[in-house]
Structure 1
Amino acid sequence: MEEKLKGKIWMYALRNAILHDGKAEVDSVLGGVMSEYEDLKPKEVIDEIEDIVEEVNQLPLEKQEEEAAELGVSLETEKEQREELPEIPEEAEGDVITRAAPNPNGPFHLGNSRAYILSYLYAERNDGRFILRYDDTNPASEEKSPKKKFYDWIEEDLNWLGCEPDLVIRASNRLDVYYEFAYELLEDGNAYVCTCDSQKWKKLRDGKEACPCRNLDPEEQVERWHKMQDGEYEEGEALVRIKTDIGHKDPAQRDWPALRILKDHDHPYVSQDYVVWPLYNFASAIDDHELNVTHIFRAKEHSKNTENQKWLYDYLDWEYPVTVHHGFLSLKGAVLSTSEIRKGTKSGEFEGWDDPRLGTIRALRRRGFQPEAIRELIKKYGIKDTNAEVSMEEFSSINRKIVDSEANRYFFVDEPVEIKVKNPGKKGDIELPLHPERDETRTMKVGDRFLINKQDFESNRGSTIRLKGLYNIKVPEKGQTCEYDGDEIVQEMPKVHWLPQKEEEIIDASVMMPGANKKNGKCEKNVLGEDEGNVIQFERFGFVRVDKKKEEAADFWFTHK
């Protein structure tokens, strides 16, 4: 690393330490460096930052202030700016009712959670109500048919995100409501039952021509409707269409389908007695009115749905809710497509819906990303209508600010090699900080044998390195026997993590990495004092989530650097 950058890190560390009673925070220093060096990636500097922060924090406050003065470090404080959501039309306290309308054919992912989190946040801000409405009226499609476990997962994910709904309903439980409005629309001549062959109808539609069914009188439409309900038509032989502008410039908005026939398809909550099922635009539009929804948040790709549904509202003399169309949010390097994930889980490519390569809320949660981080990310992008791809570095930076102050520190050594230290400077119980900003410590018993990372050892042959928190050792040109080389902390000296080679102090450790590969090694036994689900930091390795504890081993999932 170039000396200029090291010097800049040192200055940021001094400044942050002085502003926080002598204790710098790694994440704050990283943020300062990244703001000045935009082309850098956190993983390129995080190890150096951690080392420098450790050195700076060991200096007395008076010494820190002295060095800062010599280097001309500015100590002006900066007010932290939190992302705030912009105001939207007709936003009034107590009068905002929003909803999430997921299809329970898969769990949430970061992309579709945007609309749901925004819906909750705006309702919360105005002391309004947030409704979870399952759009579960397509039992025929293998990909889109609802599954019971996904109802449970969606509600679980929402609650974990801190977006607990005030009301939970299923569209499949409201079929009779949709039938009533379908009858009204048919009777008033604003909808019709179409029995045309689908290809013939599309040809007429594309030519801006009405099909013969469109102009039948309401009595004939109602009679056909009753036949649909009685099961006299087979699938594909009849469906209800809403009359729109047959000459509309967009063919997709010409007489859109509202209800169709589906027979002998299993549904997790509804019997096969129902053969007429509403499509999304119809059921969703009806329920938004019936539930008094005032504001709808949806991706801009669904803007055509908004236009289609307005025809329905005009016919029924309803006022359409305020609608906010936002862009799509993706996570670079993560799979978000529900159909792609389903295909991968079936083929064995993915180990499940929480595979670390996925962008599902369940996968992010298992990796150790916090609900506050996801909410802050959504707030940052807000209701902008441009699509955005979030880098893992950006997402990790938000999460790091949340977990850093709570995550206890431990040592983990992958690819361990055993070394011996001649005339060690310390033996017996030694105390190491559990966290650099707290007085708590952890204890390990050391002797003259240690485990360190193979690369750390081989790349420093012939040099002096520091065992973090312990002392310095001289690495031999050949062999595995090192020599004690004093206690003085030298800024330029490489600092490595380590473990005592004592069975009673260490356990087997496996870390699931973002690419679904595992890194195996050893970690200190102190980790077993953590609860499963806790996020900790393996020093010089990264933040990890404690996934599963065993008697003499533990499994972890990598979160980020």
Structure 2
Amino acid sequence: MDEDLRERVRREAEVDALYNALKHGSDAQVGALMGPMMGENPEFREHGDEVPGVVAPVVEDVNALSTEEKRERLEELAPERLAELDAEDEGEEHPLPDLPNVEEYDEVRMRCAPNPNGPWHIGHARMPAVIGSYKERYDGWMLVRFDDTDPETKRPLDWVYDQVLEDVAYLGFEPDEVITASDRLDTYYEYARDLIEMDGAYTCSCPAEEFSELKNSGEACPHREKDTETVLSEFESMVDGEYDSGEMVLRVKTDITHKNPALRDFVAFRIIDTPHPRPEAEDYRCWPMLDFQSGIDDHLTGVTHIIRGIDLQDSAKRQGFVYDYFGWEYPEVVHWGHVQVDEYDVKMSTSTIREKIEAGEFDGWDDPRVPTLLSTKRRGIQGEAIVDAMVELGTSTSDVDLAMSSVYANNRDRIDDESPRCFFVSDGVELPISGGPDSAHPPVHPEHEERGERDIPVGDAVLVEEDDLPEPGEKLWLKGYGPVAYDGDALTVTDDDIDLVREQDVDVVQWVPADESVPVRMRTPDGDVSGRAEPGLAEYDADQTLQFVRVGFVRVDYVAQRATEQSSGDKPRDRHEDEESVVYYAHP
């Protein structure tokens, strides 16, 4: 990042931090600033790893100001933002806009409706994040409904039902009720029969291409005027599985001359020969289309507010015809744009991810290169960090971008204080070292002296990253150990003090002992990195988050068993050569 761009980041961060601190009457948070700032300044995104480091000291300086000083500074930098603050009504502010007409309902009831054809990717998290947040805000009710009525093109995976509920819990929410559409076929059949008796639906055996031509020209299907008894009989034959796929459908009568051809006499039920993977539903062949099934379920479960993509506006209109037949009141609808997530190379699509896993390009749904919640969880990213970033995007009808750097900033705020420090070296150069103490004792956490120190044996040689080595004849500061001179082949401890770093711009670098260090494989979104960590890593349990100094935060996934062998002395010495430990990289 060049200095001009760095200065722009500082200026934007200062204005946003001042505004947020004054608006909420509390300290500004780096994580809360990142999403909106990245969204409004796309040119910042390619420097996402650097931006939080530029923003953090700015936020710290802002938080040190008094309220009056903050107001004066904001008026100096962005008087229009201060005017905006002063014009706002008093009262509690929410990142999300008010839901429409909530005062007309005894309870706000909302639903997430996942298709269990694969575990959730990060984009899917927006729905439960926003609905769960509205539930908390309005003391409302939340349903998880599995829309699994397409056993062919969106074939469910049996393990995904439980996984989605685990993902909801990972994001910090608990549904009030869980239902599965494939358990409710008989209910949908009953409402279809009622609709037929109202002359609101008819069975149609037109080939798809033939009906499409009629529909597009505004001409009625020749089957549209069948008598009710015939339609009921043919629908029962559909239910009994007497037709082949594509041979017969049930259509809802709408307006065959409607200006939008997509709304003309749409399909409510069709035949699918592929058995459903759930044993409870494998014998069914007559399956409802999503618009019919979802509309019926929304009414029966008392849903008051629906959030759906702007591309699904026709769904609400199709369902509106069914609601009109039954005399029901349609729920309030909020349409929003798509969310795009940066950083990942793979398309944010369940089917695409599934294909790449099956082709062996990824290890599984929790591969760190895959944009799934299984992956972010394994990397040590807390669900609440994703929720906060999603909520900050609001519910705009425009497409929005989620910068993963905002998720990382949120997560950093949550785990930094609880993450012990640890040294890790990749591409290490082994160098003899002499003239200093036998061990180093850096703090477990630099901001918490009470947590004690790490004991790192130095031995006869250390590993230092090749890129960190100075020119021969220059010096280094081994972090937590002290100053050393480098002659091109070895390191020698010197008696310099910290002014060496402050005044001579000597680098402070991480290192590990050559003999006692632990082999580690660090799994990252860019591929695996092999290296070695200080021996204390072997003492941590799986799921512990650590900060690899100057590298980033990681989650311990697996710790190799420590074997021992007899040394030349009396005590056995630890060996870590047999198997490597594994950590997952979270973020800088």
Class of the TM-score when normalised by the shorter of the 2 chains:
0.7 to 0.9
- Report 1:330-349 matches (<5 A): 330-334=340-344, 335=346, 336-349=348-361
Please state how far the C-alpha of 1:90 moved relative to its aligned partner.
2.4
Residue 247 of structure 1, aligned match among 246, 253, 257: 257
Whether contact under 8 Å (2:484, 2:491) holds in the other structure is no
Residue 499 of structure 1, aligned match among 499, 512, 515: 512
**In 2, distance between residues paired with 1:135 and 1:232?**
25
Task: Compare 208-217 and 546-555 and name the one that shifted more.
Answer: 546-555
**In 1, distance between residues paired with 2:495 and 2:53?**
23
**Structure 1 residues 264 and 541: CA distance shift in structure 2, 3 A:** closer
**In 2, distance between residues paired with 1:397 and 1:96?**
32
Residue 473 of structure 2, aligned match among 453, 462, 484: 462
The DSSP-based 3-state class of the residue aligned with 2:144 is: strand
Q: Does 1:402 align with 2:408?
A: no
**In 2, distance between residues paired with 1:124 and 1:407?**
29
TM-score (norm 2): 0.81
**Structure 1 residues 46 and 281: CA distance shift in structure 2, 3 A:** closer
Alignment match, 2:293: 283
**In 1, distance between residues paired with 2:472 and 2:380?**
36
Residue 315 of structure 2, aligned match among 280, 305, 308: 305
User: What whole-Å deviation, never above 9, does each CA across 1:114-161 have from its counterpart, x for those lacking one?
Assistant: 1222222212222221111111111123xx011111112111111111
**Paired amino acid for 2:359:** S
Alignment match, 1:21: none
Alignment match, 1:41: 47
Alignment match, 1:543: 553
**In 2, distance between residues paired with 1:166 and 1:224?**
38
Please state how far the C-alpha of 1:484 moved relative to its aligned partner.
2.0
Whether contact under 8 Å (2:275, 2:284) holds in the other structure is no
Residue 168 of structure 2, aligned match among 158, 169, 177: 158
Please state how far the C-alpha of 1:113 moved relative to its aligned partner.
2.1
- Report 1:52-451 matches (<5 A): 75-76=65-66, 84-92=95-103, 95-141=107-153, 144-263=154-273, 265-334=275-344, 335=346, 336-424=348-436, 426-428=437-439, 430-439=440-449, 440-441=451-452, 442-451=454-463
Alignment match, 1:512: 523
Please state how far the C-alpha of 1:331 moved relative to its aligned partner.
1.2
The DSSP-based 3-state class of the residue aligned with 2:224 is: helix
**In 2, distance between residues paired with 1:258 and 1:461?**
77
**In 1, distance between residues paired with 2:471 and 2:393?**
45
The DSSP-based 3-state class of the residue aligned with 2:110 is: strand
**Paired amino acid for 2:479:** K
TM-score (norm 1): 0.85
**Paired amino acid for 1:392:** M
**Structure 1 residues 493 and 27: CA distance shift in structure 2, 3 A:** farther
Whether contact under 8 Å (1:83, 1:379) holds in the other structure is no
**In 1, distance between residues paired with 2:124 and 2:230?**
42
**In 1, distance between residues paired with 2:338 and 2:63?**
41
* Unpaired runs of at least 5, structure 1: 17-24, 54-67
User: What whole-Å deviation, never above 9, does each CA across 1:408-427 have from its counterpart, x for those lacking one?
Assistant: 11100111112223322x33
Please state how far the C-alpha of 1:385 moved relative to its aligned partner.
1.5
**In 2, distance between residues paired with 1:124 and 1:176?**
34
Whether contact under 8 Å (2:518, 2:538) holds in the other structure is no
The DSSP-based 3-state class of the residue aligned with 1:325 is: strand
Please state how far the C-alpha of 1:448 moved relative to its aligned partner.
4.8
**Paired amino acid for 1:149:** W
The DSSP-based 3-state class of the residue aligned with 2:387 is: helix
CA RMSD of aligned residues (A): 3.2
User: Where do 4+ consecutive residues of structure 1 move more than 6 Å?
Assistant: 1-6, 25-28, 45-50
User: What whole-Å deviation, never above 9, does each CA across 1:271-324 have from its counterpart, x for those lacking one?
Assistant: 443221111011110000000111111121212111111111111100111111
**Structure 1 residues 275 and 44: CA distance shift in structure 2, 3 A:** closer
**Structure 1 residues 405 and 275: CA distance shift in structure 2, 3 A:** same
User: What whole-Å deviation, never above 9, does each CA across 1:340-367 have from its counterpart, x for those lacking one?
Assistant: 1111111111211122222111111112
**Structure 1 residues 106 and 42: CA distance shift in structure 2, 3 A:** closer
Alignment match, 2:79: none
Tell me how many residue pairs correspond in the alignment: 516
**Paired amino acid for 1:181:** Y
* Unpaired runs of at least 5, structure 2: 18-27, 72-91, 563-579
**In 2, distance between residues paired with 1:83 and 1:333?**
28
Whether contact under 8 Å (1:423, 1:484) holds in the other structure is yes
